[in-house]
Amino acid sequence: MTLAVRYTSARTLDTAPALSAPPGPGEVELAPAYVGICGTDLHIFHGDMDARVAAPAVLGHEMSGRVVRVGPGVEGWQPGDAVTVMPLRWDDTCPACRSGHQHVCQHLDFIGIDSPGAMQQRWVVPASTLIRLPDSLPLDRAALVEPTAVAVHDVGRAGVAEGEKVVVVGGGPVGILIALVARAAGADVRVAELNPHRRLLAEELGLATWNPADEDVPALVGRWTGDAGADIAFEVSGAAGGVDTAVDVLGVRGRLCLVAIHPRPREVNLHRFFWRELTLVGARLYDRSDFEKAVTLVADGTIPAERLISKVVPLTQAPAAFEALEGGGDVMKILVDCTDDSDGTDDAEGAAV
């Protein structure tokens, strides 16, 4: 028997025994080491995705770990290999797949949402989802490869080029990662973020920031660009005000890359799109090349992953960690240590938090 963190109903998680089946043909069994909690996991925890997530559901898709066993027909992998997982399973038959866009398959199985995820001590996945990690990369830092792959994909979709002026609206984990990846591509980057802790962290990482609560961000962009406007804006806040800011900072033929998930329709200044010939680009998930580049960026220190990890908790304390993330404040990224099943808080088992 192994332990798993399960979503059972709105605002209720538990840690419970889970059966570990041997890997079948084309599959591998992993021992997850660290699993990050992301915004999508919080949406599930709040009950917002009950129409999609079948409870009890094992969460988690930002992970690192090692191969334990390989199933029949699996080649190139052996026990002990350090890996992360690109948590996508597509059907290869739908129109999106046939056009070469498997990552947005029209029947996509996002592992960790649509099927069991990584927040458990043993996890069986298709061998095709594995991404090799260098032995020199600590596994806690490697848990940030998946969100870094998101950022790599976003920067690629926006077409960020050297010398371009980029505004990132929203300085949470993904926003900071986008800013760092864009900077690595040679862009001049500014981050607009309300939370003072997040602004401080961004500044410690060498990123210039603005506080939209106290500053007129479009006016600041005008002074920064000589009234030309930004070349690219990333909307990562998920807020209506963030959409307005992202549109208003753009110059002629600027590109707005929509990263955040907006659960309801937003009003958008379409006159601005017409007047300045703006472009709106959606960015969702990643492909294998994004993941492989993300591994390199984390491994070589371009992404200082250790600075983004606020806390590491044992598996049994994962339910309480969700509550800590809800509060925002000084928390950026919390990792769950799946190798540590020591006793946590009294309400970890069957907790409603």
Q: Which residues are catalytic?
A: 40, 43
61 close to 36: Cβ distance less than 8 angstroms? no
What is the rounded distance in angstroms from the CA atom of residue 101 to the CA atom of residue 262? 22
116 phi/psi in degrees, rounded to 5: -55, 140
CA separation (Å) from 161 to 148, 221, 264, 274? 18, 18, 32, 24
Render the burial of 229-257: b for 16+ CB within 10 Å, e for the rest: bbbbbbbbbbbeebbbbbbbbbbeebbbb
- Return the structure tokens found at 306: 């250790």
Q: Which residues pair with 14 in a beta bridge?
A: 6
What is the rounded distance in angstroms from the CA atom of residue 272 to the CA atom of residue 245? 12
List the one residue out of 41, 30, 89, 40 whose CA is nearest residue 64: 30
Which runs of consecutive H residues, i.e. helices, occur in the chain?
39-45, 95-98, 139-142, 145-158, 173-184, 196-204, 217-225, 240-248, 270-276, 288-299, 305-308, 318-326
User: Would you say how long the chain is, in residues?
Assistant: 353
275 phi/psi in degrees, rounded to 5: -70, -35
